[in-house]
Amino acid sequence: MNLSRRAFLVFYRNLVSYKRFVVPTLVGSLVQPVFYLVTFGIGMGAYMGAFGGKPYLFFLVPGVLISSVMMSSTFECLYGAFVKMIHEKLYDSLIATPVSAEDAVAGDILWGAFRGLISGGLMMSVAFFMGVFPVSIPAGLLLCVLMILIGVMFGSLAMIVTSYAPNFDFFNYYTELVMTPMLFFSGVFFPLDRFPSWMKTLSQFLPLTHAVEISRAVYSGVYPKSLVLNLAFVLALTFIALRVGVGRMKKRLIK
Amino acid sequence: MKTIIKAENLTKRFGDLTAVDGISFEIYEGECFGFLGPNGAGKTTTVRMIHCVSPITSGSILVNGLKADVDNRKIKAMTGVIPQEITLDNDLTVFENMMVFTKFFDIPRREARRRTDELIAFVELEAKRNNKISELSTGMKRRLLVARALLNKPALIIADEPTTGLDPQARHLIWQRLRLLKNQGSTLILTTQYMEEAQQLCDRLVVMYEGKILKEGSPRRLIDDEIGREVVEIRIDAAEDARLISALGPFSCGHERAGDTLFFYCRDGREIQKKLVELDLPNTVHRPATLEDVFLKLTGRSLIE
């Protein structure tokens, strides 16, 4: 892979253009997760009693936070990248400079991760107001690192989808058939223990499951041994998806 | 003359389609070199291989001694590309578009500001400096593309159909700027379907068709060799061909029938003109030969799709 520091220049380009969209995108990425927190957390939480000695919100926040990272980075690398590739021809102008196709795509994945971090960070602040904090300040910082990692993972996965997409409608397959089910089978809203075993097995193949497990551990400061497996899964998938996503997009950009 | 680009047996295939079919050419430093051809002739593909955004299937290109497909970043750093499509950043202003681009070439900030201001003036866009791209006309966008391509002070400028869709004023402004750049010593590569553009700008050119180079030379020489100096067009029914050819043939160096028109190519049209008066034909045009005649003769007058 012909990757260089120029990926960060592509990130910088996105940052410059982002200032025009800050407000609408912040509102956009805030509304849905807050909606989850209020309806599930406060509304349903009232009936749920305590989870491991803490209110339901403490269970819910780490999961919703990581899913909002997933949503933001995915959408940026689906629709955002597609618009840049097909409609604005932005990649064409980037790769005519010393920026390589790999730099351009990696820079955009990084950008997707950053958008995820912003969404997750917003969630964290909203959770503050609801009285849900990470266990310590270092844990909070660690969460930010985790959000970037998870953002890169889902951004790269989305890039793979984008590299095959003939048009916008194609993305519906991914968002409706993969993302939405994943949201409900990854233990974001309720624990997986009571699922039938085949469903538990299935959930172990969903990247969001592992991301949520790690997020929950960092939030609570309780690190079970199985966390190593979660982390290994996330790191391995991130590495593979990044390579495949960048490679596939390169093939599409450089013909 | 120093060779800046040397291509040998250059070939590009997309699956079963051979877009560029084993062509060889040389481009000299400081000249304007044109690729002419109808849609799908392989011009843009060839040029994309020169500036390293399209992998070479086989053959080779040397750009200033650097191998395309290997030293990509170095070649791209010394090349300015005026693209066929408008690839400006719609989210940014004119000034921001330029400044962001300087980053990709590692131009230090102060120098970047200086060059940006200078080039915005060069393409006469000072008044639009802080406007968004969506507020510009097509002509302004194209001018900005020219300015953006010059940010890295390129030794090699590639203009891929730079005036498509422009009104005459905007087109002439771009031509003037490109000539100015050439006079300042840059090497210019131009692809175009506009024969007037090629005649205005190119020192030498090749006519491409179906991935091959049909002819190479200066516009003047190509016209001389292929057509002569003058062309007589006669709009007349094909039934009259035999009669006219026997009457006018001896004074011309070639004739061609295309649709409703019979073309005679000649070095000196005076004799033909006298004959035309004698024959008393109503619908005739007598004009100097142009590159367009060469182009149509080489690539055929029928529609290419």
In chain A, the percentage of residues whose pLDDT exceeds 90 is 65
Give residue for tokens 């955009």: A108
Predicted local distance difference test score (pLDDT) of residue B147: 95
Q: Number of folded domains in chain A? A: 1
Gap between the terminal Cα atoms of chain A: 16
* Residues 6 or more apart whose Cβ sits within 8 Å of residue B139: B166, B167, B169, B170, B173
Question: Would you list the domain boundaries of chain B?
Answer: 3-218, 228-288
Q: Render pLDDT for B143-159 as a digit per residue (tens, 0 to 9).
A: 999 999 999 999 999 99
Contact check, Cβ <8 Å, B87/A98: no
Contact check, Cβ <8 Å, A254/B53: yes
Quote the minimal CA–CA distance from A86 to chain B in Å: 10
pLDDT at B274 > cutoff 90: no
Contact check, Cβ <8 Å, A92/B90: no
A1 found inside a domain: no
What is the CATH T-level fold of the domain B228-288, as seen in this structure? Alpha-Beta Plaits (3.30.70)
- The parts of chain A modelled with pLDDT lower than 50 are none
pTM of the prediction?
A: 0.89
CB contact, 8 Å: A15 with chain B? no
Q: Render pLDDT for A238-250 as a digit per residue (tens, 0 to 9).
A: 999 999 999 999 9
Instruction: Please name the residue of chain A whose CA is at the shortest distance from the CA of residue B134.
Output: A88
A214 found inside a domain: yes
- Chain B residues whose CB is inside 8 A of the A13 CB are 89, 100, 103
Pick among B47, B100, B161 to test the A interface (most A CBs inside 10 A): B100
- Say if domain B3-218 classifies as CATH 1.20.140.10: no
List, as ranges, residues 59-98 from A with C-beta within 8 Å of B: 88-90, 92-98
Predicted local distance difference test score (pLDDT) of residue A28: 78
Instruction: Please name the residue of chain A whose CA is at the shortest distance from the CA of residue B81.
Output: A96
Is the distance from CB of B261 to CB of B284 less than 8 angstroms? no
Higher pLDDT, B276 or A217: A217
A66 found inside a domain: yes
Predicted local distance difference test score (pLDDT) of residue B82: 94
What Rg value do the Cα atoms of chain A yield, rounded?
18
Q: Which amino acid is at A198?
A: W
Predicted local distance difference test score (pLDDT) of residue B303: 57
Is the distance from CB of A153 to CB of A237 less than 8 angstroms? yes
CB contact, 8 Å: B15 with chain A? no
pLDDT at B304 > cutoff 70: no
Q: Render pLDDT for B112-143 as a digit per residue (tens, 0 to 9).
A: 999 999 999 999 999 999 999 999 999 999 99
**For all residues of chain B together, what is the average pLDDT?**
90
* Domain with A130 in it: 6-253
A195 found inside a domain: yes
Quote the minimal CA–CA distance from B175 to chain A in Å: 22
Predicted local distance difference test score (pLDDT) of residue A232: 97
Instruction: Please name the residue of chain A whose CA is at the shortest distance from the CA of residue B150.
Output: A97
- Long-range contacts of the stretch A165-172 (C-beta < 8 A, 24+): A165/A78, A165/A82, A168/A79, A168/A82, A171/A78, A171/A79, A171/A82
Higher pLDDT, B241 or B204: B204
- Chain A residues whose CB is inside 8 A of the B135 CB are none
pLDDT at B302 > cutoff 70: no
- Chain A residues whose CB is inside 8 A of the B101 CB are 93, 97
List, as ranges, residues 79-118 from B with C-beta within 8 Å of A: 79, 81, 83, 85-92, 96, 100-101, 103-106
pLDDT at B84 > cutoff 70: yes
Whole-number Å distance between alpha carbons of A252 and A85: 9
